[in-house]
Amino acid sequence: MENAIYIALSRQMALRRQMDVTANNIANMNTAGFKGQQMLFREYLMEPEGTGRPREAAMSMVIDQGTVRDMRAGPLAETGNPLDVALEGPGYLVVDTVSGPRYTRNGHLSLDIDRQLVDGTGLPVLGTDGQPLVVPQDAAEIMISEGGEITAIAEAGGGAPVEPVPVGTLRLVTFEDERRLTPLGGGLYATNQMPQDSETTRVMQGMIEQSNVQPILEMTQMIAVSRQYQSTQSLLQDEHDRLRSAIQKLGRMPQS
């Protein structure tokens, strides 16, 4: 196979993976707390075969090194739901799973049948004591402070004074390197790093952090990738036609 075809195929493989990442960003543009990703490419030099060949003769190909997550915070949107929380500043909520603690910035919370505070996938949200947060049955109002303290206010009856009942405090954690977090889907992340309690994260009740994906830019990126793929395909077809024409002409040459 000619070198031009090898190089073009490496470009197409990289473009296909870039399209997958872009499509995933677009699919999650309405997912609360989602962080967009971009491909990271690098040059790969294939050494020439044989000995005595100069290094300048190496083929320059492209490979996808990995993905880079955009850690910028998304815009905050007010929902009016007292169980929704947005995290301002670095930090993650901690949820309990069968595989151990996982971390999320998706603050679209609710109560399950056991009155536990759960995330959008139904996983219990943990407090600073490492236990799920349970809201009393007679709670008429739930207050969440900027520090994550949750207070339930029972419905008053017969003119009795309303006594706030402390439910617990949301555990908010940070990590030394957020880019080492592994996305699991559903807004969850896993990591082998040791979580550190965050003292700077502010909890905004009744709000949601939206995805930081910019749909117009992602759609533009998708169009650009599609056109680059088509252009590379055209190059491959031209190279294929050139080789076929050369073989046909060589086959018609008289044998000496």
Structure tokens at 142: 């739930």
Structure tokens at 98: 């069968």
Which of the residue ranges 26-40, 149-163, 237-251 would you say has the lowest mean pLDDT? 149-163
**83 and 183, same domain (yes or no):** yes
Backbone angles phi, psi at 161, to 5 degrees: -65, 145
With b for 16 or more beta-carbon neighbours within 10 A and e for fewer, the 144-170 pattern comes to beeebbbebbbeeeeeeeeeeeebbbb
Give the pLDDT of residue 52.
53
- Token pair 């004591």 is found at 129
8 Å CB contact between 77 and 102? no
**99 and 184, same domain (yes or no):** yes
How many whole angstroms from its chain centre is CA 166?
A: 34
**108 and 200, same domain (yes or no):** yes
Angle, nearest 10°, between helix axes 215-252 and 3-27? Answer: 160
**205 and 94, same domain (yes or no):** yes
| Calpha distance 6→22 (Å, rounded) | 25
**223 and 148, same domain (yes or no):** no
**190 and 116, same domain (yes or no):** yes
Torsion-angle region of residue 118: left (phi > 0), alpha (psi -120 to 50) or beta? beta
8 Å CB contact between 84 and 205? yes
**16 and 37, same domain (yes or no):** yes
**203 and 81, same domain (yes or no):** yes
**pLDDT range class, residue 60, cuts 50, 70, 90:** low
**230 and 124, same domain (yes or no):** no
Give the pLDDT of residue 247.
77
Give the pLDDT of residue 15.
87
Mean pLDDT, residues 121-127 taken together: 93
Q: Give the chain's domain count.
A: 2
Range of the domain at 13: 3-71+213-252
| Calpha distance 10→64 (Å, rounded) | 9
| Calpha distance 15→62 (Å, rounded) | 10
Mean pLDDT, residues 25-39 taken together: 88
- Looking at the whole model, is its pTM more than 0.85? no
Distant-in-sequence, close-in-space partners of 234: CB < 8 Å, separation ≥ 6: none
Of all residues in the chain, the percent with pLDDT exceeding 90 is 43
Q: What SS3 class is residue 58?
A: coil
- Token pair 């989602």 is found at 34
Query: Residue 238 half-sphere exposure, CB side, CA atoms within 13 Å?
Result: 8
**103 and 152, same domain (yes or no):** yes
